[in-house]
Chains A and B, each alone.
Chain A
Amino acid sequence: MSAIPHLQIKNLRARIEEKEIIKGLNLEIKGGEVHAIMGPNGTGKSTLASTLMGHPKYEVTEGSVTLNGEDVLEMAVDERARAGLFLAMQYPSEISGVTNSDFLRSAINARREEGNEISLMKFIREMDKKMSTLEMDESFAHRYLNEGFSGGEKKRNEILQMMMIEPSICILDEIDSGLDIDALKVVAKGVNEMRAAERGFLIITHYQRLLNYITPDFVHVMMQGRIVKSGGPELAARLEAEGYDWIKEELGIVDETVNANA
C-alpha cells in the first residue's frame, strides 16, 4: 500500500437517535498531511471520528465519505479498517480474556490471506520493537486488552496498535488527554515515526501542547457540528492564547455546541 491515500468528506450529516450532531461537514485529507481538529467540548469532534469509523450508534443522513474514491459509508466497520482507516479512541474498550498480543495478531492476520499469516517470530519482533519505541513494559503484550490499564497506558496502547497495523488514514481522538509530559513526548515520537507520504492524520485535540510535538499542516476549528474555520499551525497557537470567543464573535455564533439550531 504505497499509494497516496485520499479521504474525502463531503457535506456529512450524522445523527444519534433523533439528534443531529454532524451538520454538513467538509474535509479532505491526503497522504503526507497532518490535520488537527480543535473545538470546544460537545461540538461533535468525537462523533465525527466515530461516524467515519462506522460506530453502529451513529446514522449518516446525508453526504459522502470516500477513501481513494471508494464509498466508505457502504462498508462495515471491519472493512473500513481493512481499507486503511484507523481510529485511536478517546475511550478504548476493555476486553477481558483477550491478550493484547493475541488481539493484535488477529488484527494483522485479518489483513492477510488465509495461509499467509504473519509468523509468530516476526510478529513478536515487530511488537517488541514498537513497544520499546513507546517505552511500554513487555508485560503489556500478555495483559488482557486494556483491562486495568491506566488512562495513559490505554493511549499508548492505541498508538501501539496504530504502529503495528500501519493504516493509511489515522484518526487520533484526544490521544493527549490524560498523558503526562513524558508520555506525551513518547506518543508524539510514535506518531512522528509514522508520518509518511502514504499516510494521512486527523488529530483531535484541545491543546496546543500536542501540536508542539506533532506539527500539523492544517488546523480546523469545529463548532455546531461542522468546521467553521481552517488555517495553519498559527491558528492553534492563537486558540491556545485567546480561546474560542474571537471566532464565535467573528462568525456570530452564540451557542457553539451541536445543540444550536443550524
Chain B
Amino acid sequence: MSVDLQLRFDREAITQYSKANQEPAWFLESRLAAFEACAKLELPKLEKTKIDNWNYEQFLPFVTQDKITNADALDEVVKAEIDVTAVKNLLVQKNATVIYHQAAEGNAQGVIFTDLATALREHGDLVQKYWMKAVAADEHKLASLHAALVNGGVFIYVPKNTEVELPLQAVYQIAGDDALLCPHILIVAEANSKVTYVDTYVSSEGKSMVANSIVEVFVGAGASVQLASVRSFSTEVHDYTFRRAIVDRDGKIEWILGEMNDGNTVANNTSVLKGTGSSVDTKTVSVGIGSQRQNLTSQVTHIGTHTESQMTSKAVMTDEATTILNGITKIEKGAEKANGEQGERILMLSEKARGDANPILLIDEDDVKAGHAASVGRISEESVYYLMSRGISRKEAERLIVLGFLDSIVSEIPIEEVKNRLRQALERKLA
C-alpha cells in the first residue's frame, strides 16, 4: 500500500478546472465519479513490476500556462523535437494547458483536429459517444485518476471515406516541480477513412513529475490509422500510458512506439481486433538507461475471424536499468483463421541491467495460427572484433551493433520524420 500522503487536489479543484474550461456537465460528472472511485480502485497488476512505490498521485494536477500564438515562442525542448514552423498540423500541450494549436487549411472537409477542451465545448456529443469506451475509467486506479484529472489532449475525428493527407502532430511537454501531464488522445476514424497521428513527449526542468496518458482509437470498417509516438521524458517523470484501439471489420491500425524515457515507465498498448479481417502491426523500440524501470506491454485480442496481428519489440539495456517486455496474443473462441505473430528481443549491454522478454499466448480457438519468438542476448565479442579489425574503435563498433540490432524496426518506420526523431532519441540515449 502506498503511504497515506494527503492528496494535493480535491473535488473543488477538479470542479474549478472544469468550469474554467467550460466543460459540459456530463464531463464534470464523469470526472467527479472517477475521483470518488479512485480511492477504492487498485493499481493495475503488472507482470514482474511493482509500482506501489512509484509516484502516481503526488502532484499538482492543474498547473496552467499561458497560451501562445507564435510557434517561435515555444520552448526549446519542443523545438528540438519538431520543426514547429514547417509542420502544418500541430498541437502543443504544456502541463495543464494546450498552449498552441494550428490546423492545416488544406485538411479535408469535416475533419476535426482540436484540443480536448474545445472538442468538449463544440462537439460534446461526439466526444461523449467515445469517451473512456475503449479504456474504462474503473479498470484500475490509474485509469480513474486519469478520468478525474485529464488536463488536455487531442480529439481527432475523420469522417467516412475521408483521407487526411498530412500527419496530425502533437507535442506534450511537462515542466516544473510536481507537475502533472494528463492528456487524453481520442481518435475516431470512420469507415474507409485514413489518418496518421504522430506525437512526442518531452520534459523540461522540474522534479517529481507525473504523466498519465490514455489513448483511445476507434478504427472504423475499412479505415486505416497510423499512430507513432516517441516518449523522451527525463528521470524526474514517472510515466503511465494506456493505449487501446478497437478495430472494426477490415480496419487496420499500425503502432510505432519509441519508449525512450529516461525514467520509470509503464506502457500498455492493446489492440482489440473486433471486426472480421481487421489487423494490427505494432513496433516498439526501447533503450533502458541509468536505474530506470520499465514495464512495456504489447497486447492484441483477436475476436473477429481472419484477424491478423504482428507485434515486434526490441530493447537495449544498459547500466542498471530494468525492462520487462511483455507480448500478449489473445485469441478468443470464434476467431477462426486468426493469425498472431509476436517477437521480443532484448540486447544486454551491462551485467547489472535486467531484461525480461515474456511472450504470452492465450488461445481459445483451434483454427488459428500463432507464433512467438523471444530472446535475450549480449553483444558478440566476435562481431566487435570484426568491426575493430577494420579500424573502428570499440565504442563505435558497439554503437553500430546496437543501432543495427534496432534497425530492423527503425528502418521499417514509414514516416521519415518519426524515423529521424527516433534515431535522434536513440543517439541521445546511447551516447
Contact = CB atoms under 8 A, between A and B. Distances in A.
Do most interface residues of chain B lie in helix, strand or loop, or is the interface mixed?
helix
A106 interface: yes
A180 B386 CA distance: 25
B401 A95 contact: yes
B403 to A, nearest CB: 7
B388 A78 contact: yes
B390 A98 contact: no
Contacts of B401: 95, 97-98
B385 A110 contact: no
A53 interface: yes
Contacts, number: 79
Interface stretch (B82-90, B173-181, B392-400): B392-400
A96 B382 contact: no
Contact of A110 (B382, B383, B391): B391
A55 B388 CA distance: 10
A98 to B, nearest CB: 4
A161 B386 CA distance: 12
Nearest to A147: B404
A157 to B, nearest CB: 12
B405 to A, nearest CB: 6
A54 B382 CA distance: 12
B405 A97 contact: yes
A103 interface: yes
B406 A89 contact: no
Contact of A96 (B390, B393, B404): B404
Contact of A93 (B382, B391, B400): B382
Given A98-B400, A102-B400, A106-B400, A81 B388 contact: yes
A76 B396 CA distance: 14
A111 interface: yes
A177 to B, nearest CB: 18
Interface string B366-394: 00000000000000111101111111111
A106 B386 contact: no
A78 B383 contact: no
Given A55-B385, A56-B385, A92-B386, A98 B392 contact: no
A107 interface: yes
Contacts of B382: 93
B161 interface: no
Given A56-B381, A92-B386, A110 B393 contact: yes
B64 interface: no
* Nearest 6 interchain pairs by C-beta: A97-B404, A97-B407, A81-B391, A98-B404, A93-B386, A107-B390
Given A56-B381, A82-B391, A97-B406, 14 more contacts: A55-B385, A56-B385, A78-B389, A81-B390, A86-B389, A93-B382, A93-B383, A96-B405, A97-B403, A106-B387, A107-B392, A110-B391, A110-B392, A110-B393
29 contacts: A55-B385, A56-B381, A56-B385, A76-B388, A78-B393, A78-B394, A80-B389, A81-B388, A81-B391, A86-B389, A87-B389, A93-B380, A95-B383, A95-B400, A95-B404, A96-B407, A97-B401, A97-B405, A97-B406, A97-B407, A97-B408, A98-B404, A98-B407, A106-B387, A110-B390, A110-B392, A144-B404, A161-B390, A165-B391
Interface of B: 380-383, 385-394, 396-397, 400-401, 403-408
